[in-house]
């Protein structure tokens, strides 16, 4: 029976499986396997966050209708054969810099993907072409290990994907809390991995939240490159905006961090 197969996986410490795993271990027709999966899914014992990929839902998560993303994302991305890391506001939360708990679990990958809805759980995918080059660290979860971006890489992503982070005010607020974990030298080493406009905006925001000591290295990079001036908010016009000479940024919006 499928329930026996699932219990065996649980006993071995697994939290997920694929349709192919079931078909290899059960001498049943594809139709019978699918019917058994639907029955167990209807009972709440399993959930399918991605086509053909199932997670085992223990009793404590039945009300949520799915396993928490941090427990199944590593298995899912391994099955898809893709590099990934939990990033942006999700990574900031793991680094202790969550001003408020993110509503969506954010995953950065080198391939565009649609968001996942599984019960009450939501996963958003952010495309970053060079995701595999971004420095990460591993943290322990109830199901194993999860890769998250380092504090320094998280800072760059927050600035680079503002529209995924509830706007500049929230980004500045999170950065203010994240600065305790940021190493200035490590931050400087990452400048070449992001557009220089991200470096300029990050530097400006670090100064804004009183962390200019973390930004000396990237300030030297901007001074050396002498890039074109960039708007602090790319979505807004720059006419009439003042210029921050240190970062060569058009300050075309007022940023008010909640600190």
Beta strands 230-231 and 249-251, pairing class: parallel
Spell out the residues 6+ positions from residue 211 whose beta carbon is closer than 8 angstroms to its own. Answer: 175, 176, 179, 182
Domain architecture of the chain: domains with CATH: 2-61 (1.10.10), 69-251 (3.30.460)
Dump pLDDT digits (tens) for 64-117: 999 999 999 999 999 999 999 999 999 999 999 977 778 999 999 999 999 999
Q: Point out the residues of the chain with pLDDT beneath 70.
A: 26
The first and second tokens of residue 64, run together, are 């949520």
Q: Which residues have a Cβ under 8 Å from the Cβ of 52 and sit 6 or more positions away?
A: 18, 19, 20
Interatomic CA distance for residues 157 and 201, integer angstroms: 11
Quote the CA–CA distance of 115 and 49 in Å, as a whole number.
10
Instruction: Report d(CA 178, CA 164) in Å as an integer.
Output: 17
| Per-position b or e across 172-207, b if 16+ CB within 10 A of its CB | bbbbbbbbeebebeebbebbeebebbbbbbbbbbbb
| Residue 18 β-bridge partners | 53
pTM above 0.85, yes or no: yes
Residue 26 confidence (pLDDT): 67
Q: Write phi, then psi, for 167 (nearest 5 degrees).
A: 95, 170
Element (H, E) at 146: strand 144-149
Q: Is 20 helix (H, G, I), strand (E, B) or coil?
A: helix
User: Phi/psi zone of residue 10: left (φ > 0), alpha (ψ -120 to 50 degrees), beta?
Assistant: alpha
Residue 240 to residue 48: CA distance in whole angstroms: 52
Q: Residue 94: which residues within 8 A CB-CB, separation 6 or more?
A: 86, 139, 148
User: Hunting for tokens 């720059």 — which residue is that?
Assistant: 238
Strands 144-149 and 136-141, bridge-based pairing: antiparallel
Phi, psi (degrees; rounded to nearest 5) at 158: -60, -45
Q: 147 has which bridge partners? A: 138
Residue with tokens 């078909």: 23
């Amino acid at each position: 029976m499928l329930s026996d197969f699932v219990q065996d996986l649980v006993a071995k410490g697994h939290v997920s499986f694929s349709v192919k795993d079931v078909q290899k271990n059960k001498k049943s027709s594809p139709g019978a396997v699918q019917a058994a999966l639907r029955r167990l899914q209807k009972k709440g014992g399993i959930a399918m966050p991605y086509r053909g990929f199932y997670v085992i839902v223990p009793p404590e998560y039945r009300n949520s209708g799915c396993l928490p993303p941090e427990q199944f994302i590593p298995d899912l991305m391994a099955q898809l054969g893709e590099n990934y890391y939990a990033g942006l506001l999700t990574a900031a939360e793991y680094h202790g810099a969550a001003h408020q708990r993110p509503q969506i679990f954010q995953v950065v990958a080198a391939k565009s993907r649609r968001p996942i809805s599984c019960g009450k759980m939501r996963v958003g995918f952010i495309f970053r072409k060079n995701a595999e080059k971004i420095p990460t660290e591993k943290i322990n979860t109830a199901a194993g290990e999860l890769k998250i971006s380092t504090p320094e890489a998280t800072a760059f992503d927050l600035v680079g994907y503002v529209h995924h982070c509830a706007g500049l005010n929230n980004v500045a607020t999170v950065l203010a809390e994240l600065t305790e974990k940021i190493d200035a030298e490590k931050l400087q080493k990452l400048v070449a991995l992001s557009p220089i406009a991200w470096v300029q905006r990050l530097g400006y925001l670090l100064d804004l939240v009183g962390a200019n000591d973390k930004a000396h290295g990237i300030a030297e990079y901007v001074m050396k490159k002498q890039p074109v001036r960039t708007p602090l908010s790319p979505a807004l016009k720059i006419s009439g905006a003042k210029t921050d000479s240190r970062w060569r940024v058009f300050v075309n919006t007022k940023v008010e961090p909640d600190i």
